Amino acid sequence: GQQVMQIPQYQHVQEGEDFTTYCNSSTTLSNIQWYKQRPGGHPVFLIQLVKSGEVKKQKRLTFQFGEAKKNSSLHITATQTTDVGTYFCAGRGNNDMRFGAGTRLTVKP
């Protein structure tokens, strides 16, 4: 069945450093969504990518969808303590939408 793998599982950075999380699928995806979950909170929708090679930006966050629509990445420039949380990708293949296991980001001030 469809699998969505996300790496790394954990990332600890110094405030001001960059951060990237990667999402890879075993099958071609029709779209991919990114969510953020603050500690103790619930997942919150960030963005959706649909087109091959698509790049979208939200302030310091850059989201990319691979040309083959099998992978995606989220890059945060100059992390801040407010970026702390777990970032999930969720990809939809031929059937249902599957979430990656998430990357937990901690930021040291």
Partner 1 sequence: DAGITQSPRHKVTETGTPVTLRCHQTENHRYMYWYRQDPGHGLRLIHYSYGVKDTDKGEVSDGYSVSRSKTEDFLLTLESATSSQTSVYFCAISEGGHYSNQPQHFGDGTRLSIL
Binding residues vs partner 1 (CB under 8 A): 6, 9, 30-31, 33, 41-45, 48, 50, 88, 90, 92, 95-102
* DSSP string over 32-91: EEEEEE-TTS--EEEEEE-STT-EEEETTEEEEE-TTSSEEEEEESS--GGG-EEEEEEE
Distance CA 36, CA 47 (A): 10
Residue 96 belongs to what H/E stretch?
A: none
Distance CA 101, CA 71 (A): 15
- Closest to partner 1 by CB, 44 or 68: 44
- Closest to partner 1 by CB, 19 or 35: 35
Q: How far is the CB of 42 from partner 1 (least distance, A)?
A: 4
- Closest to partner 1 by CB, 66 or 100: 100
Q: How far is the CB of 19 from partner 1 (least distance, A)?
A: 18
Q: How far is the CB of 88 from partner 1 (least distance, A)?
A: 6
